[in-house]
Amino acid sequence: MKSRDIALAVAVMAIWGVNFVAIETGLDHFPPLLFNALRFTLAAFPALLFAGRPRVPWKWVIAVGLALGVVKFSLLFAGMAAGMPAGLSSLVLQSQAVFTVLFAVLLLRERPRPVQVAGLLVALAGVGVVATRMGTNLGAFLLIIGAAAAWGLSNIATRKASPPDTLRFMVWVSAVASGPLIVLSLLIDGPAADLAALRAIDGEALLALAYVALVSTLAGFAGWGFLLKKYGASTVAPFSMLVPLFGMASAALVLGEKIHPTDLIGGALVVGGILIGLARARAPRPALVRVEA
């Protein structure tokens, strides 16, 4: 990779790592489902004026919109609202690689290589280490695990779709997700809570919303799609392991979150295990790992 493209890859990972701080900030102002609905609505509808058709079958746009936008991010936002730290969420969410391989075996009849299985077992051990310190907040931890599972399922759908334009695809995915999320927010968060949050909106809330919708979703995926098209998933995917680094570091700096020794040990196992699994990335089939937050 050229040095400027390496810098772009690192910048995108930094954007997605810091995104967890923006989510944590936004959740101080909005109920989880409302924040998620606003995020995808803002990401989708201004861009639809310029995006054009998604150029993939609609069934895959709908499948990814529901799995990624509605289920994955709703569980992620709910887990963080329930007390899961932002930095730790950025790490645990990387267990999506385990679920991606699992769903590939179950749905696509793929056979993972032994080195890939070994790497994913190491990553699972890392997730287990992180879980040991969650204590009474295990429910929030399990919500993030559920988000990782939904992300893995959306990875399979995205792979089947094979969108030629990642940014355009994400715009339409966001549009599909926004409607169900608005309905869910009204049913679960409640109209009174939604209206109160909208009335109390301030500059910090708007900044958090703009970051997760425009910077993380649109700008992040524009850069990611460019790199995937130029170099392929096998070259670009390993950069995803920088997301927890930026996530945990920014959460410590901005939010004052403490990094425990078990977080470092678990993080090393998760990142190391996934990198071991990515050793298969030089095989002819593209890597399954995708990243977004």
Listed by start position, the domains of the chain span: 3-282
CA distance 270 to 241: 9
Q: How far is CA 140 from the centre of its chain?
A: 16
Residue 288 has pLDDT above 50, yes or no: no
Q: What is the per-residue pLDDT for 283?
A: 45
**Section 251-272 average pLDDT:** 84
- CA 155-156-162 angle, 5° bins: 85
CA gap 288, 293 in Å, rounded: 17
Q: What is the pLDDT of residue 53?
A: 85
Q: What confidence score (pLDDT) does residue 291 get?
A: 52
pLDDT of residue 177: 95
How do residues 21-62 score in pLDDT, each as one tens digit? 999 999 999 999 999 999 999 999 877 777 788 889 999 999
- Note whether 33 and 181 are within 8 A (CB): yes
Cα separation, 83 vs 135, whole angstroms:
12
Which tokens hold the place of 24?
Answer: 């944590």
Q: Which residue has the higher pLDDT, 41 or 133?
A: 41
Q: State whether the Cα torsion 201-33-95-241 is positive or negative.
A: negative
290 pLDDT exceeds 60?
no
The encoded tokens of residue 102 equal 């699992």
Asked if residues 5 and 229 have their Cβ atoms less than 8 Å apart, the reply is no
Helix crossing, 242-250 with 261-277: angle to 10°? 160
Q: In the prediction, which pLDDT does 50 show?
A: 77
Q: What is the pLDDT of residues 186-240, one digit of tens each?
A: 999 999 999 999 999 999 999 999 999 999 988 888 888 788 778 766 677 677 7
> Which of the two residues, 135 and 276, has the higher pLDDT score?
276
Interval 60-78 mean pLDDT: 95
For the beta carbon of residue 109, count every other beta carbon within 10 angstroms. Answer: 7
Q: Residue 258: its pLDDT value, please? A: 85
Predicted pLDDT of residue 183: 96
d(CA 181, CA 67): 12
C-alpha radius of gyration, the chain, whole number: 18
Q: Residue 41 in contact with residue 178, Cβ under 8 Å? A: yes
pTM: predicted TM-score of the whole model, two decimal places: 0.86
Closest listed residue to residue 238, CA positions, set 183, 288, 176 = 288
Q: What is the largest CA-CA distance in the chain?
A: 55
What is the pLDDT at residue 158?
A: 86
Buried b (16+ CB within 10 A) or exposed e, 242-267: bbbbbbbbbbbebeebeeeebbeebb
**What span, in angstroms and rounded, lies between the C-alpha atoms of 125 and 130?**
9
Average pLDDT for 103-121: 81
From CA 259, how far away is CA 87, in angstroms rounded? 8
Between 122 and 271, the higher pLDDT residue: 122
pLDDT value of position 178: 94
Category of 56 on φ-ψ map: left (φ > 0), alpha (ψ -120 to 50) or beta: beta
Report the percentage of the chain scoring pLDDT > 90: 42
Q: What is the mean pLDDT of residues 109-138?
A: 78
